Structures are given as C-alpha cells and as structure tokens.
Amino acid sequence: MSIMNEQSGILLFDKSEGRISLKEELTLKKKLDLKKCGHLGTLDPFASGLLIIGVNKGTRVLGMFEEWRKTYIATIKLGELTDTGDLTGNIVKTKEVSPHKKEEIENVLNSFLGKSKQIPPMYSALKRDGVPLYKLARDGIEVERKQREIDIKDIYLNEYDSINNTITFTADVSKGTYIRTLGEDISTKLDELGHLIKLRRIKVGEFSIEQSKDFGNISLEDLIPIHELFKEIPLIEITNPSIEKRVRNGSEIYFKSKHDKVFFTKDGEDLAIYARLDEQKYKSVKQFA
C-alpha cells in the first residue's frame, strides 16, 4: 500500500482534446498518488489547453483565483449551426457562406471589445433548480437564461480561411464568458451561421500554456508551492512555538511587523495568510495548515 504524497501547491496541466476536465484530474490524482486535487475553470471535452490543478492543500487557493482572466484561441466553422455551439453537437441549420474581407471580420471582432451582455448557452454546467442546463437540453427542454455581463479585453484575428470557411481568433476574456456563444455571435454579426470546431486555452491569470506539461510529462517536480502564488505578500518563517500553534489553529496573534499582510511558513510548510487588525494584532484570512 503506497503512502499518498502530501506536497501541496498547483500544477499547470495541458488538457488534451476529447477528455473531460474531471476525468483528467482524477487520472492525474492516481498517477501522482495524491491525497486530494481539484481544478480551476472547466474546459469542454472538445477543448484543450491550460488547466490549473490544485494539489492537496493547494485546492484551498483555487477559489481565490476564480476572477482570473482567461485567453483562448478559437476556430469558427461558418455555414452550420449546431445545438451545442461546437462540433460535438447536431447540425440544426445550414446556410451558404458568403465571401468576406479580412477587414470586415476584424471590424466585427473589434465590436466585441469591452463590456457587454451574453446569454449563457443551454449546453452549460449552469444549474436550474439543481439540474445542470446541459441535462435539460439533452431532454429537449430549453429554459430562459439571464444575461451576464462579460468583458473582452482583447480580441484579434489569427486567420481567415476562405476556402474552408473558418475564422481563427484569439480572445482575452473575463470570468463567465462562453467562447462557444461568442463564436455564434461573431457569426451572426457577419450574417452567417457558425460553430466552434477548435478551442484552446492558452492563459489563465499570470500563467501561460508554455509553462504547462501534458499527462505524459507532468510530475510533482512541476508543483508550484502555495506561497509562490502570493509573491506580493512577505514570507515569514515562524520560530516561536506558541505563535506556530496559534497560527495552525487560525487564532488571532500579536505580531510586530510593518506589513499589512504576512504569509507564515514553518520548515517548508505553508501555514496561513494573516492580515493586520491594528498596530500589532493580526487575524487569519486564509488557512493552509
């Protein structure tokens, strides 16, 4: 019987096409013999790219980074509309494709810059009365969805293939942006039908796909420790046993420091982030011990 590895942090994983994020996570957990793991920002099965995996206590930081922006490279196939918005769905409508100029496509892409409203697709993990929308969609049930505010910081054309009727673009988007819906909306503004045939996430927050490893090459040597995710917070090694005990329990402490926040560690173990209450009093804002 193996002893599960208790190292903590995050792994930057390159998810392959055709795989479900949760299955990739569970397979990785088994491969690396981990106690616990979780992922930030699910990718559709047909999509590939950067998946951030929290390892052991590293799962506790994932919620802190949910607002991170994400960057994708996507390819739209013009002329066909599918019920899912991607190549995994059934074609529900077709239309002959008109020729387009590169400048026209660039103008349409630029029209999506900034804040706007987007209606989430039925084929999504959003829930209605506890039931995921994609399950309702598979049963032929469509429900009203509220518009969400999204923010597109950057979007540009990579390639327009007029022979195969495809448009490849890159977009830097806020949390909650559905690229499948964006692909359909771009097609509509071009007076076309369209769906995504390729999607790759290349950036999440400060991390890029170039830093990631695929399943065959990833190991615990690639683990990024929790404290490295908070480089702006001073790292302090605890030497006082009584302070260590209180920090491990998440109790308030009296601690003389010039910093508003401090990150406590002990012998390489990440313990907690503490924030100043007054001149010498600090409280726990995030526990890792």
Torsion sign over Cα 192, 193, 196, 202:
positive
Confidence of residue 277 (pLDDT cuts 50, 70, 90): very high
Q: What is the token pair recorded at 275? A: 């924030």
DSSP 8-state symbol, 5: B
Please provide the average confidence, as pLDDT, over all residues in the chain.
91
Going along the chain from its start, the domains and CATH numbers come out as 9-68+206-224 (3.30.2350.10), 73-201 (3.30.2350.10), 228-287 (2.30.130.10)
Confidence of residue 143 (pLDDT cuts 50, 70, 90): confident
Q: How many degrees, rounded to 5, is the angle at CA 183 between CA 119 and CA 214? A: 105
Confidence of residue 168 (pLDDT cuts 50, 70, 90): very high
For residue 276, give every residue at least 6 positions away whose Cβ sits within 8 Å of its Cβ, in sequence order, or none: 257, 259, 260, 261, 282
pLDDT of residue 3: 42
Confidence of residue 104 (pLDDT cuts 50, 70, 90): very high
Task: Please identify which of the residues 44, 83, 172, 270 carries the catalytic annotation.
Answer: 44
- Annotated active-site residue 44? The verdict is yes
Mind listing the pLDDT tens digit for each residue in 48-77? 999 999 999 999 999 889 899 999 999 999
Give the count of alpha carbons within 13 A of 187, CB side only.
30
Q: Kindly tell me if the per-residue pLDDT of 94 is higher than 60.
A: yes
